[in-house]
Every structure is written in C-alpha cells, then in structure tokens.
A and B are shown apart, each in its own frame.
Chain A
Amino acid sequence: MSSRTRTAFFLCSAAGLVFVFACGIRDLPPLGDYRGPYGNVVTQVAVYERHTTDVVNAINYDYRAFDTLGEEFIFFASVLGVLLLFRPTQEEDKNGKRESKLEDALPISDTLRVSMQAMVGIMIVFGVYIASHGQLTPGGGFQGGVILASAPLVVYLSGNVKTFEAIISSPLVKLAECGGAAGYAAIGTAALLFGAHFLTNIVPLGTTGDLFSSGTIAVISAVVGMEIAGGFVLLMQNYLREIIEERLRESQ
C-alpha cells in the first residue's frame, strides 16, 4: 500500500471516528451528574457506619475490601513473576554469588547530594503519614507504600550507594512484601473466627477523626502499605542486580 492511499485511508477512518465521537459527546450528561443510587447512599452512611472521614478508603478497604484483596494479589503475582524471570540461572549458581557492585562515583553535584539526603527523611515521614492517615484524609496504604519505596531510590541518586545496597538487600524487604500480602488475608480470615463474613470490620471503630479509628480500614491500609513498599523495592533490587550482572559479564 502506497503512503498516499494509506493517508487517504487514515483520513476517511479518522473522519468517521470524529463523527461518532462528536455524536457521543453531544448527549453526555453535564459534569457532576450522577444517576446511580449506590454512591449517594455510601457517602451518606459511611461516616456513621465506619467512623471514617475518607469515604473512598471506606469503600476500598471495607465495603469493597474483597476487590482490593484481588488487586493486592495481582500486584503480588506480578512481583513474583519478575522475581521468577530474573532468578539466577544454573550457570550463575555454579559460579557462586557474584560480587555485585553498583557504580560508585555517580557524577552529581554537592548541592544535589545534600538536598537529596535531606529529602530522604521527609519522604519516609510523608510516606508513613499518608499510609497511616488513609482513614482520615486522601491517601492510604497504596500511595504511602509507593512513596516509601521511592525513598531508597533517592538514597541511590544522592550517591550513597552502600546505604542503598544495604537497604534493598535487607531481608526486611521480602518480609514486608510477604507479610503485607499474608496480613491482608489474615485480617479477612480473622473475621471468620468471630462468626462474621470474610473481611468484616471486627475491630472497634473508635471516635471519628481520631488516628486510631475506623477499625480494620486503618489496619488493612497499613498492611497494604507494607506490601506495596516491599514489592516495589524488590522490583528495583532485581532489575538493578540484573543490570549490574550484565555489566560484569561485559567487563570479563
């Protein structure tokens, strides 16, 4: 097909798409128009039923906690998949563990190094804050976990390669990943012991607006934060180790 016929073909189909799209947009309801009853009901009862001020997290970690459990295990499975793909091959096993060293001298300025080191603490505090205040303000375990996971990366970028290696190869990372995933399921199963349904909110709800309120919502949020932070650090660790091994193979 020549480039001219291709352009003509594209223009014809693009015109058709624009027409259909314009027709669709013309009859769209205005912004903020909501016709389902479920959302209105939940926003009215969530604060009284679950003692949480962030209704989004009340839905994520309580009313629809089972869906979120599935999502967590999608993430868990994909991290496992990456680990499985990057597992040491037989040849590497024979050679024993290679001395993995990241590049020591990253070309960065002192200004960048100092300001980034100052940022690490702030990032960790902010991540913990977001993960632990999911029941009160926007945020929650997922967002807090990702912020926590990017803190080691800032350590790496600030040139502290040894500290970075110590953080990412710590057994705590794997423990957080597995413990987080298992913890979510365990919280759900604990409800069964009390004769309630799976993932029922069994912890005392506390006072609305307090840090320790909303029952299992806060607990699940913390557990999810652990899992996400551990998972992302594991991903980074495996990718970087793979890249370093390639580099070592090249230099040999």
Chain B
Amino acid sequence: MRLLQWVILLLVAAVAPAVVLSRDPKSQVVTLSFYGLLCALMFFIFQAPDVALSQITIGAVMLPLMIMLALTKMRRQNLRREREGKK
C-alpha cells in the first residue's frame, strides 16, 4: 500500500508539468484528461472513493469536453473574423 501511494504521487507529480508544458490547447486537453484520471486514482488509493468518483466524472470527462467545445467555438469565431477582415 505504501509503495502504491508513492508510485501514484510520483505519477501525478510527473504528469502535472506535462499538462503545463504541452502548448497546443488540443493536446493539452488530452493530457489534462489523463491527469484527471490519475488524480482520481490517487484519491482512490488514499481511500476517498467518493471524491475519486467525482474526480473521474468531472476531471476526466466533463472538463475536457467543455474545453473542447469552447475551443471549437473560438476557432470558428476566429476563422470568421479573419475572413471578414480580408474582405
């Protein structure tokens, strides 16, 4: 159990900078989702299954989804503005 706790803590510590360092928003969403999954696993290993369930549903599913939708919206808006600027 002790070993498992160390492993998951190190994994979370290793993936957190990966989220910050991935510059492209799209790949950042994927790393963020993976980070959310790892966080959920950490909560589970530290015996907080309630929090782990919330973390899985929010951090690994809904948050990346909302960011993806917002990114798509922004990209389309920018495309349109560029085209209108050219006219």
Contacts and interface: CB of A to CB of B under 8 A. Distances in A.
Nearest to A145: B57
Interface of A: 31, 54, 56-57, 130, 138-140, 142-143, 146-147, 149-150, 153, 232, 235-236, 239-240, 242-243, 246-247, 249-250
A249 B84 CA distance: 12
A146 B50 contact: no
Contacts, number: 53
A236 B65 contact: yes
Please classify the interface of chain B as helix (H, G, I), strand (E, B), loop, or mixed, using the class held by over half of its residues. Answer: helix
Contact of A57 (B50, B52, B61, B66): B50
Contact of A146 (B5, B58, B69): B58
B57 A239 contact: no
Contact of A239 (B52, B58, B61, B69): B69
B76 A138 contact: no
A237 B80 CA distance: 22
Given A130-B53, A140-B50, A146-B58, A246 B69 contact: no
Contacts of A149: 62
Please classify the interface of chain A as helix (H, G, I), strand (E, B), loop, or mixed, using the class held by over half of its residues. Answer: helix
Which 10 A/B pairs are nearest by Cβ-Cβ distance? A146-B57, A138-B49, A239-B69, A246-B76, A143-B53, A56-B50, A138-B50, A143-B57, A243-B72, A150-B61
A141 to B, nearest CB: 11
B62 A239 contact: no
Interface of B: 5, 49-50, 52-54, 57-58, 61-62, 65-66, 69-70, 72-73, 76-77, 79-80
Given A138-B49, A138-B53, A139-B50, A146 B73 contact: no
A21 to B, nearest CB: 13
B54 A232 contact: no
Contacts of B70: 239
25 contacts: A31-B5, A56-B50, A57-B50, A142-B57, A143-B50, A143-B54, A146-B54, A146-B61, A147-B57, A149-B62, A150-B61, A150-B62, A150-B65, A235-B66, A236-B65, A239-B66, A239-B69, A239-B70, A242-B73, A246-B73, A246-B77, A249-B80, A250-B76, A250-B79, A250-B80
A54 B62 CA distance: 25
A130 B72 CA distance: 32
B73 A239 contact: yes
